[in-house]
Amino acid sequence: MMGSFIEVRDLTKIYHVGEQHVEALKGINLDIEESDFAVFMGHSGSGKTTLVSVIGGLTKPTGGTVRIEGVDIWSHDDKAISKFRNKKIGFCFQSFSLLPSLDVMNNIVMPLIFANGGKKDRDKIREKAVSMLRELDMVEKVAAFPSELSGGEQRRVAIVRALMNDPDIILADEPTGELDIRTEQEVIEIFRHINEEYKKTVIVVSHTLAWIEKAKKVFVMKDGVLYENVADPVTLLMGGC
């Protein structure tokens, strides 16, 4: 029988730093369905980035499995994992922010042009970028540099870049970090749109409570342990349980 779209079982991650062992994931189990909108809340250091990096094929787990459409992604070699990443997942991670020396168009198309090994389909890729920028009200900024954009505009460019390879899954780590409340709402609305209109599976890590009402599934992480179907995530985050 086919399991969930994303099925995580007994997932552990231990980081070894000198003599220290940090248990970042302590046996995580979770299921996410196709077109789900899942949000992971939790304090800094609780293991959120580690978890989404393992799900996205970026960080190798210590134990357990991540199955996506039935495929145990970590059973493959590096080349196959990177192929899976490029095809299936759009990353919107803070650490992959925009390159200051490239304009908006080049920030969006460069990763895909590199992945395609150079010249192939350049015009098509640019056309797609323009049409997605238009959809997010950003087409007039196509030649702007990141330093000429507001925080919200920069996020929109990063979102377009993440969508360029038409991934099934969007993984976003703190996509509303350091934004004012109004811009934060705009960015949340874009993710909702991507989920509802494009039917993408959206997985977001954030400590902003504003996601809770938009998400279909809310998970709370505390010290490497995941809690699901939490009736009151705020109380849990504030100490509780």
Q: Tell me the window of 27-35, 47-55, 111-119, 219-227 that interacts with Mg ion (CB under 5 A).
A: 47-55
Q: Tell me the window of 42-50, 68-76, 151-159, 190-198 that interacts with ligand ADP (CB under 6 A).
A: 42-50
Q: What's the closest the beta carbon of residue 56 comes to ligand ADP, in angstroms?
A: 13
Rg (CA), the chain: 18
Calculate the dihedral angle through the C-alpha atoms of 150, 156, 161, 166, rounding to the nearest 10 degrees.
180
Choose which of 2, 18, 19, 44 interacts with ligand ADP (CB under 6 A).
Answer: 44
Alpha helices by DSSP H, listed for the chain, are 48-55, 78-88, 104-115, 122-135, 151-163, 181-197, 233-238
Q: Tell me: does residue 206 bind Mg ion (CB under 5 A).
A: no
Distance of CA 190 to the CA centre of its chain: 14
Q: Tell me: does residue 96 bind ligand ADP (CB under 6 A).
A: no
Distance CA 8, CA 157 (A): 30
Q: What's the closest the beta carbon of residue 44 comes to Mg ion, in angstroms?
A: 7
Q: What's the closest the beta carbon of residue 173 comes to ligand ADP, in angstroms?
A: 7
Distance CA 109, CA 202 (A): 22
Report the partner that residue 208 touches, choosing among ligand ADP, Mg ion, none (CB closer than 5 to 8 A by kind). none
**Are the C-beta atoms of residues 218 and 230 closer than 8 Å to each other?**
yes
Choose which of 37, 47, 61, 155 interacts with ligand ADP (CB under 6 A).
Answer: 47
Q: Tell me: does residue 24 bind ligand ADP (CB under 6 A).
A: yes
Termini Cα distance of the chain:
35
Which residues lie below 8 Å from residue 123, measured CB to CB, with a gap of 6+?
Answer: none
Q: What's the closest the beta carbon of residue 119 comes to ligand ADP, in angstroms?
A: 36
Size of the site for Mg ion (CB under 5 A): 1
Return residues touching ligand ADP (CB under 6 A). Answer: 15, 17, 22, 24, 42, 44-50
Return residues touching Mg ion (CB under 5 A). Answer: 49
